């Protein structure tokens, strides 16, 4: 039998989805048997919409990167658990809606290009998968990697910025185009800031950033809006 890893990404995703229906699975958040996501962990994925400032970048996020939410995101990104992408995509969709509320004129989504090694390891690209599942427009492929970088998670905060500085560039002139950056998790924000710098250097405008989750260091303890208000996040003057 051909190893699952060798199948094309879309097909692999479909196979994993189908397999989770017939095979017993564990909750991606707490490990409880027989459910892809138990009710308690699913409740932790209800979007809350946090507004944070990363450098000069206004960033809208749906979840705090902690507890069950963090474990479910890690499972989706690193453990092949594409069966939990649905609730995560719903949360990202809420953050996108909040970030785009009240905006006038076209805004394109832009994502940070992932490394080929990461794609080979996973068989899919997490942010693209989330956006597709969220029904969002396909992100414009306007950024390319100039050089390989160390895996960010192995580095400290200061080293992350140095590792990424100048690592991206625009693949085409971007004058007159506006972009909303999208990523899965903002920790130090170094990746988003480098992407923003590269788009601006290419002549584009960055209206802000949206992430599925943000590290608790960056997010306030109380969300900017209640989960059900659907209003854009309130910002302090
Ligand atoms: Zn659970």
Domain regions of the chain by residue span: 4-214
Q: Taking the complete model, does pTM exceed 0.95, yes or no?
A: no
What tokens were used for 169? 């560039």
Catalogue the long-range contacts made by 117-123 (C-beta closer than 8 Å, 24 or more residues apart). 119/9, 122/77, 122/78, 122/80, 123/4, 123/5, 123/7, 123/9, 123/12, 123/13, 123/80
What is the distance in A from the centroid of ligand 1 to the CA of 195? 34
What is the distance in A from the centroid of ligand 1 to the CA of 39? 7
**Per-residue pLDDT, 229:** 41
Give the model's confidence band at 11: pLDDT under 50 very low, under 70 low, under 90 confident, else very high: confident
Residues around the ion ligand 1 (C-beta < 5 A): 27, 29-30, 32, 38, 41
| pLDDT single digits (tens) 99-120 | 999 888 999 999 998 878 888 8
Whether 156 shows a pLDDT value over 90: the answer reads no
| pLDDT single digits (tens) 76-87 | 999 999 999 999
User: How many angstroms separate the CA atoms of 104 and 121, rounded?
Assistant: 39
What is the distance in A from the centroid of ligand 1 to the CA of 19? 19
What is the distance in A from the centroid of ligand 1 to the CA of 5? 26
What is the distance in A from the centroid of ligand 1 to the CA of 72? 9
What tokens were used for 36? 């892809």
What is the distance in A from the centroid of ligand 1 to the CA of 213? 18
* Spatial strand order in the sheet of 205-214: 50-54, 57-64, 205-214, 178-186, 108-111
**Per-residue pLDDT, 5:** 61
What is the distance in A from the centroid of ligand 1 to the CA of 148? 36
- 196 with 169: CB under 8 angstroms? no
What is the distance in A from the centroid of ligand 1 to the CA of 117? 30
């Amino acid at each position: 039998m051909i190893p699952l890893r060798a199948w094309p990404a879309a097909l692999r995703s479909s196979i994993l989805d189908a397999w989770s229906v017939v095979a017993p699975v564990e909750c991606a958040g707490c490990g409880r048997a027989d459910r892809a996501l138990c009710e308690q962990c699913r409740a932790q994925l209800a979007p809350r919409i946090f507004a944070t400032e990363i450098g000069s970048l206004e960033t809208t996020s749906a979840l705090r990167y902690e507890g069950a939410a963090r474990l479910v995101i890690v499972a989706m990104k690193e453990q092949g658990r594409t069966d939990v992408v649905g609730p995560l995509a719903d949360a990202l969709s809420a953050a996108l809606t909040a970030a785009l509320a009240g905006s006038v004129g076209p805004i394109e989504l832009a994502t940070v290009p992932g490394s080929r090694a990461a794609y080979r390891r996973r068989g899919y690209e997490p942010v693209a998968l989330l956006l597709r599942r969220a029904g969002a427009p396909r992100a414009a492929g306007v950024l390319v990697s100039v050089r390989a970088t160390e895996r960010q998670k192995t580095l400290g905060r200061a080293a992350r910025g140095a590792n990424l500085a100048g690592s991206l560039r625009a693949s085409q002139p971007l004058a007159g185009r506006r972009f909303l950056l999208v990523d899965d998790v903002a920790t130090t924000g170094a990746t988003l800031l480098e992407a923003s710098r590269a788009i601006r250097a290419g002549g584009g405008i960055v209206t802000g950033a949206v992430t599925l989750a943000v590290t608790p260091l960056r997010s306030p303890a109380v969300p900017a809006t209640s989960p059900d208000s659907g209003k854009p996040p309130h910002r302090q003057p």
